[in-house]
Structure 1
Amino acid sequence: MILGMDTSSDTMTIALFNDGLVIGEYTTNLKKNHSVRLLPAIAALMEECGVKPADLEKIAVAKGPGSYTGLRIGVTVAKTMAWDAGIPIVGISSLALLAENGLYFPGKVVALMDARRGNVYAGVYQAIQGKMVNVAADGHIALVELVEQLAQGEDTILFVGTLTEQIQLAVTEILGERAIFAQADYTYSRASSLVKLAENLDGEPADNFVPDYLKLAEAESKWLESRGSE
Structure 2
Amino acid sequence: MIWLGIDTANTPLAVAIVKDGQILAEEVTNIKLNHSGGAMPAIERIFTRAKLTPKDLNAIAVSEGPGSYTGVRIGVTIAKTLAWTLKIPIVGVSSLKTLAANIEYNPHIICSLMDARRQNVYAGAYDGSNHLATIVEDGHYSMDGLLQQLVVTKRPIVFIGHDVELFWETIISVLGEKALRAPYTVDLPNAAQLIHLAQQQELPAAEDVHQFVPTYKRIAEAEANWIKEQKEKAKND
TM-score normalised by structure 2 residue count:
0.92
C-alpha displacement of 1:164: 4.4
**Conserved? CA contact 1:105–1:158, under 8 Å:** no
Structure 1: how far apart are the matches of 2:166 and 2:67? 19
C-alpha displacement of 1:203: 3.5
Question: Hey, what does 2:54 align to over in structure 1?
Answer: 53
Question: Hey, what does 1:157 align to over in structure 2?
Answer: 157
Matched letter for residue 29 of structure 1: N
C-alpha displacement of 1:87: 0.8
**Alignment: residue pair count:** 229
What is the SS of the residue equivalent to 1:62?
A: strand
1:219 aligns with 2:218: no
Q: Judging changes above 3 Å, is the alpha-carbon distance between structure 1 residues 2 and 166 closer, same or farther for their aligned structure 2 residues?
A: closer
Identity of matched residues, %: 41
Q: Judging changes above 3 Å, is the alpha-carbon distance between structure 1 residues 26 and 104 closer, same or farther for their aligned structure 2 residues?
A: same
What is the SS of the residue equivalent to 1:113?
A: strand
C-alpha displacement of 1:214: 0.2
**Conserved? CA contact 1:14–1:191, under 8 Å:** yes
Gap regions ≥5 residues in structure 2: none
Structure 1: how far apart are the matches of 2:17 and 2:166? 36
Structure 2: how far apart are the matches of 1:164 and 1:122? 11
Q: Which of the pair is proportionally richer in strand?
A: 1
What is the SS of the residue equivalent to 1:38?
A: helix
How do 1:173-192 and structure 2 match up within 5 A?
173-192=173-192
Question: Hey, what does 2:146 align to over in structure 1?
Answer: 146
**Conserved? CA contact 2:59–2:83, under 8 Å:** yes
C-alpha displacement of 1:136: 2.1
- 1:170-215 CA distance string (max 9 Å, x none): 1000111110011211111110100111123213522111111000
C-alpha displacement of 1:105: 2.3
Q: Judging changes above 3 Å, is the alpha-carbon distance between structure 1 residues 133 and 153 closer, same or farther for their aligned structure 2 residues?
A: closer
How do 1:1-230 and structure 2 match up within 5 A?
1-128=2-129, 131-201=131-201, 202-203=203-204, 205-230=208-233
C-alpha displacement of 1:128: 4.0
**Conserved? CA contact 2:3–2:57, under 8 Å:** yes
**Conserved? CA contact 1:60–1:195, under 8 Å:** yes
Q: Which runs of 4+ in 1 moved over 2 A?
A: 162-166, 227-230
